[in-house]
C-alpha cells in the first residue's frame, strides 16, 4: 500500500517528504505500532540515526525481544561476509 501526501499538505506543514516520513515513523514508534528497526526503515534512516532522532526529542526507546532478534540476525549476517 502506498500513501500519497499531497504537495499542498507538505507545503502547509513546511516539511519535506523525508521529514514527513520521519515524523510519521516517530509517532508510530511512540504508539508501539512499529519496532525501532521498522520505524527506522520507514523513516529512511539507519537505525542508529533514528535512535539519535528519538534521543534528541527525549523519546524513550523501548527495546523488545523482536528488536533483539533482529540485531542477532544482522550480526549473524555480518559474520558470514
Following DSSP, what letter does each residue of 42-59 receive, concatenated? HHTS-HHHHHHHHHHTTP
Cα distances from 33 to residues 24, 30, 72, in angstroms, run 11, 8, 22
> Which of these, 41, 3, 2, 48, lies nearest to 22 by C-alpha position?
41
User: In terms of pTM, does the model score above 0.75?
Assistant: no
Predicted confidence (pLDDT) per residue in 16-44, tens digit? 999 999 999 999 999 989 988 899 999 99
**Between 3 and 62, residue with greater pLDDT:** 3
Of all residues in the chain, the percent with pLDDT exceeding 90 is: 56
In whole numbers, what is the pLDDT of the chain averaged over residues? Answer: 87
Amino acid at each position: 500500500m502506498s500513501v500519497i501526501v499531497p504537495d499542498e499538505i507538505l507545503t502547509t506543514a513546511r516539511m519535506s517528504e523525508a521529514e514527513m516520513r520521519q515524523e510519521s515513523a516517530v509517532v508510530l514508534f511512540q504508539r508501539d505500532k512499529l519496532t525501532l528497526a521498522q520505524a527506522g526503515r520507514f523513516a529512511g534512516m539507519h537505525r542508529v540515526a533514528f535512535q539519535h532522532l528519538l534521543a534528541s526529542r527525549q523519546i524513550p526507546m523501548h527495546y523488545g525481544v523482536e528488536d533483539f532478534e533482529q540485531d542477532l540476525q544482522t550480526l549473524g549476517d555480518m559474520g558470514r561476509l
